[in-house]
A and B are shown apart, each in its own frame.
Chain A
Amino acid sequence: MTDATIIDAEYEAQFGDYFALLKPRVMSLVVFTAFVGLMVAPVQVHPIIGFCAVLFIAVGAGASGALNMWWDADIDAVMSRTARRPIPAGKVSAQDALSLGLALSGFSVVMLGLATNLLAAGLLAFTIFFYAVVYSMWLKRSTPQNIVIGGAAGAFPPAIGWVAATGSVSLEAVLMFALIFMWTPPHFWALALFLRKDYNNAGVPMLTVTHGRKVTRQHILVYTLLLAPLAVWLGFTQIGGPVYLTVAVLANGWFVKGAYDIWRRDENMAEADKYRTEKSFFQFSLLYLFLHFLALLADASLRAVGFL
């Protein structure tokens, strides 16, 4: 047992501490993307079933978050960004986090299966396994491509939402998956460029540490260049429309330009303006994903009221 996991005997874990184990901020993104995946599907879903589907997908994502916090408590404790999570802060025991994670995993998968269909439940189970075992346990500490693999787990929710509605995987589901999957590496590596100390301390092999910052800048550009056509392609499927295409072209143009700027800079230039380009690229990346899914929702609404 390390110092970080000793529980203060006086402290009683509150409800909010358990809730924090589910990574509410990640969960809100999952709720949003799963909701969009469900809404853009060309199938009418009863509102209550749709609500339940999104809820159980979110609970599943939360469960994998709890499992991740159980496994990563030791490195969370040394990174300032994560040191205040419930386990390193001594609010919840690691054992409790494991129990909660396992219980909610089973619960969410079974309930999603009952509410929608078995394929969606299977995908959710796979997502939890992928994030908790493949990413957290196997790859996060062993390869600098950890971010790429971890992105897959975050990319599943809209596809699960789609499958919950339609019962099958199709091109649109795959492209929504690809959008988040390819977006994750540039998003996180931009963060790693200006938060380097944290990952160094924890010994997590970030690309910035293992292959240097120049290589990281190249990787950001390459992944962004691969991302852009995929994002625009989604606009030409049945769920795309004028709103999405406009957003995709503009946002990807900005994103590619930002990645190009990052690629052209070196550390001296970045130090000189305190990583301004990297920071604005990172901030825009959050907006980027949000805008794409919002645009999909907008086109779906336009179709629903008969404008398209």
Chain B
Amino acid sequence: MAMKTEHELHKRRFSRNMGVGLLLVGFVVIIFGLTVVKVKQLGAIQGFDHVVRPELIAPQEGEADK
């Protein structure tokens, strides 16, 4: 038996399936674009992790004089 049988329903529903498929692809593109824009508008983000970030270390006593 063929794995894929062409049913008459597939033909009748082709325009709907195609339309819904394209809409979903479009939606993904839009959400992705929106996300990129929104994240960029947040300003500079420090993307590194697991490395020493000197500005986060609280100044030690007496260090401020240096």
- A interface majority secondary structure: helix
Interface mask (B17-31 → A, CB under 8 Å = 1, otherwise 0): 011100000000010
Query: Is A20's CB within 8 Å of the partner chain B?
Result: no
Chain A residues within 8 Å of B16, by CB: 12-15, 18
A66 to chain B, nearest CB (A): 15
Chain B residues within 8 Å of A52, by CB: 30, 33-34
Known A15-B19, A46-B37; contact A55-B30, beta-carbon cutoff 8 A: yes
State which size class the interface on B falls in: 10 to 19
Chain A residues within 8 Å of B12, by CB: 12
Chain A residues within 8 Å of B20, by CB: 15
State which size class the interface on A falls in: 10 to 19
- B interface majority secondary structure: helix
Among B15, B30, B36, B38, point to the contact of A14 (Cβ < 8 A).
B15
Compute how far the CA of A18 lies from the CA of B15 in the bound complex, rounded to whole angstroms. 11
Task: Flag if A49 contacts B30 (CB, 8 Å).
Answer: no
Query: Is B41's CB within 8 Å of the partner chain A?
Result: yes
Chain A residues within 8 Å of B37, by CB: 46, 48-49
Task: Flag if B15 contacts A48 (CB, 8 Å).
Answer: no
A163 to chain B, nearest CB (A): 18
Chain B residues within 8 Å of A19, by CB: 19
What is B's interface to A at a CB cutoff of 8 Å?
12-13, 15-16, 18-20, 30, 33-34, 36-38, 41
* 20 residue pairs from A and B, CB less than 8 Å apart: A12-B12, A12-B13, A12-B16, A14-B15, A14-B16, A15-B18, A15-B20, A16-B15, A18-B16, A18-B19, A46-B37, A46-B41, A48-B34, A48-B36, A48-B37, A49-B34, A49-B38, A52-B33, A52-B34, A115-B34
9 smallest beta-carbon distances between A and B, as pairs: A15-B19, A12-B12, A15-B15, A14-B15, A48-B37, A48-B33, A15-B16, A46-B37, A52-B34
Given A18-B19, A49-B37: 16 more A-B contacts, CB < 8 Å = A12-B13, A13-B16, A14-B15, A14-B16, A15-B15, A15-B16, A15-B18, A15-B19, A19-B19, A46-B37, A48-B33, A48-B36, A49-B34, A52-B30, A55-B30, A114-B34
